[in-house]
Structure 1
Amino acid sequence: MSLLLNTISKHDANVIALRDATSTLTWGELVLRLNSIVEWWNKEDNIMNSKNIYIFLENDVDSILCLLSALIMGKNVALIDPNISAAKWEEIFSETDFQLILGSAQVIQCLGLEDYALTVQQIVTNRETAVQSFNRYFNDEGSVFFLTSGSTGKHKLVQRKVSSLLSEGKSYGETLNLTEHDAYLAALPLHHAFACGCALFGSIFNGGTLVLSSLFFPRAILKWIYEYKITVLPLIPSLVKLMTASYTKPLKVEHLRYALIGTGQISTSLAELFYSLYGVRLSGNYGSSETGGIAMRLPEVHPYLNLVGQAMSGVDIIIEDDNGLAVPYNIEGNVTVRTSSLFCGYVGENQDVQLPAKHERWSTGDIGHLTEDGMLYISGRKSNLLQRNGKKINPVVIENALLCMPNIAEAVVIGLDKKETYDDLITAVIVPKVPVLNEAQIRGYCLQQLEAYMTPEKVVFVSQIPRTVTGKVDRVSLIESLTCGKETI
């Protein structure tokens, strides 16, 4: 039997598995619906012959039914943002070999795919409900492809097998002591790896209820938290800001156990504001599309600068030097991990990367250190290191110093091409709190706080820092804008 189906079938048939604004399915009903959809797919030769599938994945029950059915049948499923631009979609489609496209009627029409795609509604509706177990046993393990640009700025598809995603769900369950009594609110798009691993496969492995929300409106989200007794809420920094900006008086959220921040850290002041409003301490989650969740900073751990937490259950974290040798505690090095949640391949930009064999370590590309009590601190990306006069410079060190300056709201340090030398033109991009700051003040402050060789050669003032959809600083876009001579962004 399919590994995924076997996991789903083990849960209490009477417990609610999936819920959105219009539909509710128990685990028992979910098994029957998946059975009927798979039996229909088996009769459709054009679908059965399509091993690779695109799904414009929306946060609703019908889309999840399509995804799970395809994975049970051993399909490779690429999860695509339903709000993707036509230009980006054409770029992805031209570089990959996926034969079948699934999505809502609205998305398919907007992208002009009526002649090439099936709607989700065509697949999940008007199917006879099966009352017996699956007539076929699917031994091929399906996989999910996550679209990510990572730190390169160029898209690639990261392949994670079902066993990898279930392993990640197990890791969340053991780390957070999750049970079938927990309820997850998926307000983040499930086509992102963090939300998919934490919310979707966390609920699938541990047997809780997944509540699906297609939009993030703080007041509606709060209503659902109360109504459905949500215990696990995955978030990203921009949504934390939205939730804290929507209320001024404290609210009592009794059932919420974990508010998990993925894809980036937030300031201590914002974390304290969230706690004062909702009475829940934010937890930090560190991971990647390739590895799933790696480390967790639980609510009782103080959010010190650069602290991402302890290794999640089933994850080994090793800090290595450039020769691949483990370094002692409190010494910085390359952050590597060993986990059964690891990816198995790329499509697109990184197809030629040497992939990790089973049980091997994978380098995350981050620089950090471990303390004696197992706490992991991340100080930056190896690929973001700057160079001046033969010395390597971690831009995060400069950024942290700048953020201690009272009149700076945000600071990002990048390296621009000097052309005439191999050194980087170290550039500080500043969002000021007041308009009276100037370059001389910034450089003077850095000379007092840092070594002279770390002082930025150039300072650019902007109204906002460009970020990706998940809230990370878009360094590639920032460098491209400044290279093109744009002094305002």
Structure 2
Amino acid sequence: MRMPPHLSVFPGKVAETARGLEVMWRAGLVPFPRLDEGLRSVIATKKVGPFAAAAQTSARRDPKAVGLVDELGPLTFRELDLRSNALARAWQDRGIRPGTVIAALCRDHRGLVTVMIAAGKVGARLLLMNTGFAKPQLTDVAAREKVEALVYDEEFTDLLSGIPGTVGRYLAWVDNPDPAGAIPALDELIAGTDDRPLPPPPERGGFVLLTSGTTGTPKGAPRERTSVLATVQFLDRIPLRAGQSTFLGAPIFHGTGISQFILSFALGCKVVLRRRFDPEATLKGVAEHGCTALVLVPTMLQRIVDLGPEVLAKYDTSSLRIIFVAGSALSPDLGNRATRAFGDVLYNLYGSTEVAVATVATPEDWSKAPGTVGRPPVTCKVQLYDEQGNRITAPHVTGRVFVGSGLSFEGYTDGRHKEVIDGLLSTGDVGHFDEDGLLFIDGRDDEMIVSGGENVFPVEVENLLVEHPDVLEAAVIGVPDDDFGQRLKAIVVTKDGSGLDADAIREYVKGNLARYKVPRDVEFVPELPRNATGKVLRNKLS
């Protein structure tokens, strides 16, 4: 069945919408000519949100299809739909209402997925908590976001003493550790409740993602409205297709994981989850389930590639058509190593919690310009501005990155917002385009180091350092200097048995970059401090 020609002759939004529909049809998200199914999905998303709508749509499309696989085995889309019906009814019996803020502090497993779907069915506002939180962060975020109910894995019980005023704490996925039975296990609630469908809530609850919090307490970025059409931002440049299989290595609470979970679910793909990331177990899972897509953050990809050719050869990963990487900077060295190991399947996405998608680099883009984050997909727009707000159009000129996206947020939950110019939202990054229109990110605008009047962005030096055969990872920061204002300091992790010393590091940088980019201070450490999604915690470096 051929799709009718898209309406590119029409200007502006009409052409963009037509192109978006064509992309959705090509991926299988709109089953042309059954446009009624596509319309039902749009209506369901408006009523119950993206999680529940995706589960309902896929259950209706093929109720026997496996929707999720975790350590406990497979669940069909139909089983997930029924489980979430029962949990939603149990919550209603316990006082959960539309607008109730439910926080989930869970690793990736069927319990979390059931919670996500059930929250949409009752119209609750779902807050996805970072499993790497310490007790003070968890307490602060729960108070600020006005959390009324909490779903958590047993392993996090000791973190909860500072959280006040919960309606109830419902244990996810594991057995009930409470001898008095005051806190019911999630499966107990599900097993003891009717699983008939619920009427849609009077208003959609939405969900809240948290920023990475690398420099302070994470901020809440709500997603009140999620347009089905906006999903083409991913599908336009990443060839996810209906009915395939996705291994989700990135955690669901992170923007990378949640976006690809929603999209894979909506496409009727089997999603393979594991509570904790393990590089070799990931390869085994890809081979076992014939996964066509693997979703990772860069540190996960590095751990996989670092296994070495002998371990990589043990597993048949030839089914992979997509290795989707996002969440932090992907160095040219790591991207090239991954390409050599797996072939031309690397897709490097650039975005943020606030703007969602900005650009995507396809394998062809990466081959042409390693390190690029690519081009904006349909419905996205990226422009660069200088400090005075003037637009930069010349190639190779660094400017502040601003993005227009149908998935952009509308302000943090505490009332603050990002800077806006010409209707575009600041990402907080600086970057440049090359002569082919490919975008490169030079660093965070607040990480620029001014040393002796020269501007240095750490990422350039860091990318060079990790290309050294004896360096595993590196970070570069600015430290106070009486003569130069700031001087560069490199924090380096080397391979076991490496003979590298500070002078060798400095000579290596001096031989490849300008003299003012050579770090005067070099410190060797066993590992860099990172959060749960692999971003370096620069506030812990000194």
TM-score range, shorter chain: 0.7 to 0.9
- The amino acid across from 1:322 in the alignment is E
Residue aligning to 2:373: 308
The alpha-carbon distance between structure 1 residues 75 and 410, as it changes in their structure 2 partners (threshold 3 A), is: same
Structure 2 Cα separation of the partners of residues 219 and 406 of structure 1 = 22
Instruction: Please give the residue correspondences for 1:440-455 in structure 2 after superposition, counting only pairs within 5 Å.
Output: 450-455=513-518
Distance 1:442 1:248 in 2: 27
Q: What secondary structure sits across from 1:55 in the alignment?
A: strand
The answer to whether the Cα contact below 8 Å between 1:103 and 1:118 also exists between their aligned partners in 2 is: yes
Match of 1:222, SS state, is helix
1:4-23 → structure 2 map (5 Å cutoff):
4=50, 5-11=52-58, 12-14=61-63, 15-23=65-73
The answer as to whether partners of 2:89 and 2:194 remain within 8 angstroms in 1 is no
1:57 aligns to what? 106
For 1:449 and 1:226, the matched residues in 2 are separated by 40
User: Is 1:296–2:360 an aligned residue pair?
Assistant: yes
Task: For residue 316 of structure 2, give the secondary structure of its aligned residue in structure 1.
Answer: coil
Of 48, 52, 71, 1:2 maps to 48
Alignment partner, residue 190 of structure 2:
124
Shift of 1:128: 1.8
Counterpart-to-counterpart distance in 1, 2:373 and 2:229: 21
Please say which of residues 277-286 and 313-322 is displaced more in the overlay.
277-286
Unmatched 5+ stretches in structure 2: 1-46, 173-185
Provide Cα deviations, 1:134-153, integer angstroms capped at 9, x if missing partner.
33x32423222223334523
- Report how far residue 450 of structure 1 moved: 4.8
Deviations 1:195-236 (A, max 9, x none): 1112x1112333322222213334433333233221111112
Pair 1:240–1:346, CA change in 2 (3 A) = same
| Match 1:287 to one of 339, 342, 351 | 351
- Is the CA contact 1:38–1:73 (under 8 Å) kept in the aligned structure 2? yes
Does residue 264 in structure 1 map to residue 328 in structure 2?
yes
Q: Give the Cα separation in 2 of the matches to 1:318 and 1:372.
A: 15
**2 CA distance for matches of 1:347 and 1:252?**
45
Call closer, same or farther: CA 1:116–1:86 in 2, change over 3 Å.
Answer: farther
Secondary structure of 1:146's counterpart equals strand
On the 8 A contact 1:33/1:129 being kept in 2, the answer is: yes
Picking from 119, 123, 126, the partner of 1:77 is: 126
CA separation of 1:172 and 1:450: change in aligned 2, threshold 3 A: closer
The 3 A distance-change label for structure 1 pair 84 and 193 is: same
Q: Does 1:417 align with 2:483?
A: no
Question: C-alpha distance in 1, partners of 2:62/2:468?
Answer: 57
Instruction: Quote the residue 1:238 is aligned against.
Output: 299
Count of paired positions: 468
Q: Choose between structure 1 and 2: higher strand proportion.
A: 1
220 and 108 in structure 1: CA distance in 2 versus 1, 3 angstrom threshold: same
**Partner SS for 2:363:** coil
For residues 388 and 102 of structure 1, what CA distance do their matches in structure 2 show? 48
- Residue 116 (structure 2) aligns with: 67
Corresponding residue for 2:290? 229
Residue deviations 1:350-388 (CA, integer Å, cap 9, x gap): x4335769x921111111122354311111111111223
Alignment TM-score, normalising by the size of structure 1: 0.83
CA contact (8 A) 2:222 2:409 kept: yes
Please give the root-mean-square deviation of Cα atoms over the aligned residues, in Å: 3.3
Mapped to 2, the partners of 1:146 and 1:202 lie a distance apart of 16
TM superposition shift of 1:407: 6.3
Aligned counterpart, 2:139: 90
Given residue 382 of structure 2, which amino acid in structure 1 is its aligned partner? I
Distance in 2 of aligned mates of 1:99 and 1:301: 46
Instruction: Report the AA paired with residue 264 of structure 1.
Output: S
Cα distance in 2 for residues equivalent to 1:90 and 1:115: 16
**Partner of residue 89 from structure 2, selected from 30, 34, 39:** 39
Partner of 2:258, secondary structure, is helix
Q: What does the per-residue CA deviation read over 1:133-179, in whole Å, with 9 as the maximum and x for residues that have no partner?
A: 533x3242322222333452332222223516x56644223332323
Asked if 1 retains the 8 angstrom alpha-carbon contact of 2:107 and 2:276, the reply is no
Deviation at 1:452, TM superposition (A): 5.0
Can you list the C-alpha shifts for 1:280-322, whole angstroms capped at 9, x where unaligned? Answer: 6332222211122322222233354531122233221112222
What's 1:460 paired with? Answer: 523
Amino-acid identity (%):
24
Match of 2:36 in 1: none
